[in-house]
Amino acid sequence: MNLQVAGFLEHSTVNGEGFRSVLFVSGCYHNCPDCHNKEMQSFSYGEQTSIQTIYESILKNKPLLDGVTFSGGEPFEQSGALAHLAQLIKKEGLSIWCYSGYTYEVLSKDANKMCLLEQVDVLVDGPFIKEKANSELKYRGSTNQHIYALNHGQIIKCLDEDF
């Protein structure tokens, strides 16, 4: 099984809580006007990479990592393959953060996207909206975006105030 990958950061402290690896996937239908990763909107950007190759790259840094963050592009456009990768990562005791331009409400009603949502520990949802931008926010760019702690795809806590 492969993913269309736009990029990979072995180490990051700004894409979720703790010390994380970040997987940027290609492809997004949202077409947000002020997208931070506009080039990643194309579904052909980057390269096809096997889940096993990505998993092995993550494992190299496992002793240092708190988790892995999925970003993009739009991770939920490749939900099946990412759900499989997330299962492998979680078996290693690492957490999954995921950034999405979709809101939780939309994701939770889409059976095709639930397979990934059920693997995500923390979801940062909603599109970036320039008019609601706030550089003081941690882990999100605009006030319409929310940070949710999840358990099997269900919200257990809104973390907006914590960050």
Over the stretch 93-129, which tens digit does the pLDDT of each residue have? 999 999 999 999 999 999 999 999 999 999 999 999 9
Q: What's the pLDDT at 36?
A: 82
**DSSP secondary structure letters along 75-109:** GGGGHHHHHHHHHHHHHTT-EEEEE-SS-HHHHHT
Per-position DSSP letters for 40-66, written without gaps between them:
GGSTTSSEEEEHHHHHHHHHTTGGG-S
Residue-level pLDDT, tens digit, the chain, 163 residues: 999 999 999 999 999 999 999 999 999 999 888 888 889 999 999 999 999 999 999 999 999 999 999 999 999 999 999 999 999 999 999 999 999 999 999 999 999 999 999 999 999 999 999 999 999 999 999 999 999 999 999 999 999 998 8
Provide the domain count of the chain: 1
Provide the pLDDT for residue 22: 98
Q: What is the pLDDT of residue 32?
A: 84
User: Helix (H, G, I), strand (E, B), or coil: what is residue 154?
Assistant: strand
User: Rounded CA gap, 123 and 75, in Å?
Assistant: 11
CATH code of residue 142: 3.20.20.70
Question: Please, how many CA atoms are within 13 Å of residue 77, restricted to the half-sphere of its CB?
Answer: 20
User: Where in the sequence is the domain holding 47, given as residue range(s)?
Assistant: 2-162
Residues belonging to the chain: 163
Q: How many CB atoms lie within 10 A of CB 63?
A: 6
What's the confidence (pLDDT) of residue 4?
A: 98
